């Protein structure tokens, strides 16, 4: 291999429509796996679904509904990324290591920030409806 060539994984997807088709089914497998094996994802999804319905029913502008639902989706996205980080770390080794701990803690901190943003967004948009 020359200096300017890069290795490409044999698992790298193809291009074109087939790539889009495959990516969709890989995503569905990811959702199924997260549902089966990730307790936090299940809990957050079971909170996000009714909350999204509530957001749609609230007497607020459409952009506020989008924000309320968007922050819920953001929590799910960050949780999936956190789960992916944890899976990769565990794949490498179950042995305790400071860098493994950092990776997992960083992912957890990202989820925490997403949850705080969601809570703040809901508070700013929904509380005024009840307070006056």
Percent of the chain as helix, strand, coil, to the nearest 5: 80, 0, 20
Residue 23 tokens read as 């990516």
- What pLDDT does residue 55 have? 98
- Domains of the chain listed by start with CATH number: 40-131 (1.10.287.3610)
The one catalytic residue among 5, 38, 79, 86: 79
- Check: CB of residue 90 under 8 Å from CB of residue 80: no
The pLDDT value given to residue 87: 97
User: Looking at per-residue confidence, does 21 or 58 come out higher?
Assistant: 58
Give residue-wise pLDDT tens across range 101-131: 999 999 999 999 999 999 999 999 999 999 9
* Least reliable range by pLDDT among 9-18, 34-43, 45-54: 9-18
For residues 113 and 1, which has the higher predicted lDDT (pLDDT)?
A: 113
86 is catalytic: no
The average confidence (pLDDT) of the chain is 93
Residue 2: is its pLDDT beyond 80?
A: no
Cβ neighbours of residue 101 under 8 Å, at least 6 residues apart?
none
């Amino acid at each position: 291999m020359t200096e300017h060539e890069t290795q490409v994984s044999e698992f790298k997807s193809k291009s074109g429509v087939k790539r889009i088709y495959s990516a969709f089914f890989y995503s569905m497998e990811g959702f199924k796996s997260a549902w089966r094996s990730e307790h936090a994802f299940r809990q957050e999804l079971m909170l996000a679904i009714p909350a999204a319905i509530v957001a749609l029913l609230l007497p607020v502008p459409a952009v506020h509904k989008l924000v309320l639902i968007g922050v819920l989706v953001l929590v799910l996205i960050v949780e999936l990324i956190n789960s992916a980080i944890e899976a990769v770390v565990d794949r490498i080794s179950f042995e305790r290591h400071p860098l493994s701990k950092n990776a997992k803690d960083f992912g957890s901190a990202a989820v925490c920030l997403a949850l705080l943003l969601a809570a703040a967004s809901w508070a700013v948009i929904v509380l005024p409806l009840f307070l006056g």
